[in-house]
Amino acid sequence: MKTRIKKIRLKRKFFWRRLILISLIIGSSILTYTLLSKRNQQEVFGQAQYPIQMPPNTLSYEALNKTSHSQTEAPVNSISFNAPSNFAGTVVYDVKLPKKEKYVALTFDDGPWPNTTDQILKILRQNHIKATFFMIGENVKAHPVQAKNVLADGHVIGNHTWHHWYMHMNPQLAASEIESTANIIYKTTGAKTTLFRPPGGILNNGLADYAKNQNHSVILWSADSEDYRIPSVATLIKRVMKVAPGGIVLMHDGGGNRSHTVTALPQIINKLRKQGYKFVTVPELLELQNKQQPSATAKN
């Protein structure tokens, strides 16, 4: 009898050990699958040159497709931001002006953004400067007040896609990214724009090709502050001061912590003014190019 009881106990003990082992194997498999899935997702969407910390209220791709080609009611007061016709369908880094013609265009990407956009607008307002803001559609939807403030202060708005993705896109996805952003900018501010800046300045992932086919002007830059890396204020200023007459400066009002940009901006303005520079929007800069006649730094 005792032997039988002992065998039963051993069988039970063996059963529980097997059950625990099986549970551990299943749990490990699930964890491995989850990690691999996450890694694969990162590989599909690509690693951004710098992280964009998107605010909430992100549209799903399905919802984006539903809204990308929808008709929106035209705002009462609408305005159009276009480059001169000879820049349609081209890529522009800067324009060539005589050294005595010291004009520069300040541009800000990845907004609109809470606090930072309004802080930059205040600095520009105090210095009587008009700039060009390349907006992410997702952020326009999340922060419409800041988008409206940019237009109300007389600045130019450009298209910077909906999601700020870097991956390669087929024509349908590229169209959705650009047209959805154009749609929300128009619906929110009343502004239409043919100024486009691809995220990261990437020209070979389908976005720039679609924009050029639509006769948009693809606007890049000649002086990069690299403020997305959050350098010291002194380093940020030094990078911007490398700009030459006819140059386009890249800074950011959105996408993350832009406190160094806000701190550096008044100093950048003062230093450039001491060197004789005047500030214009991107369309104004391109118009100056046409007056000078020499060809711009543009590529088809």
Burial of 114 (0-12, 13-18, 19+ CB in 10 A): middle
Domain spans in the chain, listed from the N-terminal domain onward: 1-37, 78-299
Q: What class is the 78-299 domain? A: alpha beta
Q: Strand, helix or coil at 79?
A: strand
Per-position pLDDT tens, the chain of length 300: 545 555 555 555 555 566 565 665 555 555 444 444 443 333 333 333 444 444 333 344 444 444 443 334 545 568 999 999 999 999 999 999 988 899 999 999 999 999 999 999 999 999 999 999 999 999 999 999 999 999 999 999 999 999 999 999 999 999 999 999 999 999 999 999 999 999 999 999 999 999 999 999 999 999 999 999 999 999 999 999 999 999 999 999 999 999 999 999 999 999 999 999 999 999 999 999 998 764 445 555
Of 143, 160, 216, 252, the active-site residue reads 252
Of 94, 109, 110, 253, the active-site residue reads 109
Tell me which amino acid residue 106 is: L
Q: Is 109 a catalytic residue?
A: yes
| This model's pTM is above 0.75 | yes
Q: Is 252 a catalytic residue?
A: yes
Tell me which amino acid residue 264 is: A
Pull the structure tokens for residue 87. 């820049």
Alpha carbon distance 101, 242 (integer Å) = 16
Q: Is the dihedral of CA 164, 169, 174, 180 positive or negative?
A: negative
The tally of CA atoms less than 13 A away on the side-chain side of residue 300 is 1
> In the prediction, which pLDDT does 50 show?
43
Judge whether 121 and 150 are in contact, CB under 8 Å: yes
